[in-house]
Chains A and B, each alone.
Chain A
Amino acid sequence: MTRSYDFRALLLSIVLLITLLGAWELATNTQAQGGGGELTEYERLMGAGSQRAGVPPPSEVIGKAWEELSDPFHNTGANDKGIGIQIAYSLMRVLSGYFLAALIALPVGFLIGMSPLMYKALDPFIQVLRPISPLAWMPLALFIIQDSEASSIFVIFICSIWPMLINTAFGVAGVRKDWVNVARTHELGPLKTAFQVILPAAAPTIVTGMRISIGIAWLVIVAAEMLVGGTGIGYYVWNEWNNLDLNSVIFSILMIGVVGMALDAVFARLQRFVTYTE
């Protein structure tokens, strides 16, 4: 029953994909031909093929993807690094900023969640800092840190800290009093109570915050790398756009999606692991 249901969903997905790719292929091809036959090399260089004629059909993108993915880690100069290397740079930044944020957000969130006083005291700061676009910090970060690498890590740090902090505080504050009472009647100390009762009780909410954070961090790194340049998938997209290599642009957009999906899947797994039913 569920299996045939899943199967039907999968079938529908495939049909949709083929339809979409087909429509795209058709649209881009008729464009090129409807423009009046073959363009000469000269016309093409002058951009006479109209702007939209530049959008490549999926078949070309797939060709490009094949080419890139068959050698993802080549490194032949600053402007010719494989997609794998670029993604690795981005991931490295995302993970360091994210890890630093977790290192601060989880304990501080715990503290805020445990203490209504701290909650009230820190709330105004959080409310003001949270809505600031992470990229707005970039100039200040570049000025203070004087290093583009560290600045982009800082931007990741600042954007991923809020969901983790808020969810941790919220989850810890919402732990059922009954469970805390179980810890109390068993004379558990503060540390044991925190790790054996409050943490597992709040874990689903905390991991939800971590999942939101990693999603935001991956969104932000692309923009940050476009700004600071050098390496990374964001820089790669921008660089290929400057080269007018739309095949690569489309291919890297898809790769950003795939990596983001993989990151999310890791946390979805973690979430399933810590979720409990009452």
Chain B
Amino acid sequence: MSQPFLQIDGLAKRFPSGKDDTLTVFENVDFDIEKGEFVCIIGHSGCGKSTIMNVLAGLDEPTDGVVTMDGREVSGPSLERGVVFQNYSLLPWLTALKNVTFGVKARHPDWSAERIRQHSYKFLEMVGLTNGAEHRKPSQLSGGMRQRVSIARAFATEPKLLLLDEPFGALDALTRGTIQDELLRIWQDSGQTVFMITHDVDEAILLADRILLMSNGPFAQVAESVVIDIPRPRKRTEMVHHPAYYKIRNHLVDFLSSRSAEIAASPREKDGSRRQPPTVRPGAEDDSPAPDAESARPHLVSLAG
């Protein structure tokens, strides 16, 4: 059996709190992501989504556990993993164009200035940020435009894995819709793998192949992996008429409104074995859950045990 593209094993993050005490944000987090998959993760704020993403990016170190990408352990940041930060994180002293060339230059130090410029323009065009706007500084751009620059920067370095932390949280609905469509188009054309944090259920259903649900912290876990059985291309307006849509949506809303808290309150079992979150398909034709092939997999690595 070939290894999955991205494999997260027994991830835990604890912070010291008070004397001799620790706060466990999450633990026993195991999941896989296949190449080319678009995976969203949903959970209440504070459950540790950003922390998980920073660990995947190599910016933060887990207290326990291993992240493996393409068979290699993640031990620091890499250009193979592009990050779109929640607050865009553009460099404010550079123009939009320079922010993108910054990334391209880092990726291809041997390229000529002209080639770097052309490559950057390609991606600025892709997010619809040309004809003058590219020469403005981030402070002179609207939130939506800044987010486009941030996405262009991440895509222009052509990473194997894209990590997005609530990228559309601060945008108005109209702008969000446009950029979501752009993101989907670029993802489909490039075949990259995307891992995205969101707090918007509809956004997750529109974009994702699979949604990971996180229970509330502390001791948060990835409780379920929900497969989105809605064929692509999905259109915002047509999608809502698909029979699976409301089943999935209700499942997600139910999880967020009650089950996420119930799981957090239930007693925790402590065994070190690797457990993939159960896969559920609320949108499947028959209502019986699909056989869970993933959980049958022998456990691979366990640092906790």
Chain A residues engaging chain B, CB cutoff 8 angstroms: 178-179, 181-182, 184-188, 196-197, 200-201, 203, 274, 276-278
Contact = CB atoms under 8 A, between A and B. Distances in A.
Contacts of B137: 276-277
A178 B106 contact: no
A274 B92 CA distance: 11
Given A186-B106, A188-B106, A178 B85 contact: yes
A179 B150 CA distance: 13
Contacts of A182: 85, 89, 91
B215 to A, nearest CB: 27
B103 A186 contact: yes
Nearest to B76: A184
Given A196-B102, A276-B139, A278-B139, A185 B83 contact: yes
B304 interface: no
Interface string B32-75: 00000000000000000000000001110000000000000000
Which 3 residue pairs spanning A and B have beta carbons closest together?
A: A186-B106, A277-B139, A276-B93
B81 interface: yes
B59 A181 contact: yes
A183 to B, nearest CB: 9
B99 to A, nearest CB: 9
Given A186-B102, A187-B106, A196-B102, A277 B92 contact: yes
B57 A179 contact: no
13 contacts: A178-B89, A179-B89, A181-B89, A182-B89, A184-B77, A185-B79, A185-B82, A186-B103, A186-B157, A187-B78, A197-B91, A200-B93, A276-B93
Nearest to B80: A187
Contacts of B57: 185
Given A178-B89, A185-B81, 6 more contacts: A184-B59, A185-B82, A186-B157, A197-B91, A277-B139, A278-B139
Nearest to B99: A182
Contact of A186 (B79, B85, B87): B79
Contacts of B83: 181, 185
A182 B76 CA distance: 13
Contact of A178 (B78, B87, B107, B138): B87
A201 B89 CA distance: 12
A201 B92 CA distance: 8
Contact of A187 (B59, B77, B87): B77
A121 B139 CA distance: 38
Contacts of A185: 57-59, 77-79, 81-83
Contacts of A201: 91, 93
Interface of B: 57-59, 76-79, 81-83, 85, 87, 89, 91-93, 102-103, 106-107, 137-139, 157
A89 B247 CA distance: 84
Nearest to A204: B93
A200 B77 contact: no
Contacts of A276: 92-93, 137, 139
A150 to B, nearest CB: 39
Contacts of A277: 92, 137, 139
B134 to A, nearest CB: 17
Contacts of B93: 200-201, 203, 274, 276
Contacts of A181: 59, 77, 83, 85, 89
B158 to A, nearest CB: 13
Contacts of A188: 106
A180 to B, nearest CB: 10
A278 B106 contact: no
Nearest to B154: A185
A175 to B, nearest CB: 11
Contacts of B82: 185
A214 B89 CA distance: 34
A40 B57 CA distance: 91
Contacts of A184: 58-59, 76-77
A149 B141 CA distance: 53
Contacts of B59: 181, 184-185
A191 to B, nearest CB: 13
B30 to A, nearest CB: 25
Contacts of B78: 185, 187
A205 B297 CA distance: 56
A178 B59 CA distance: 10
A182 B138 CA distance: 15
Most chain B CB within 10 A, of A186, A201, A277, is at: A186
Nearest to B138: A278
B76 to A, nearest CB: 8
A205 to B, nearest CB: 13
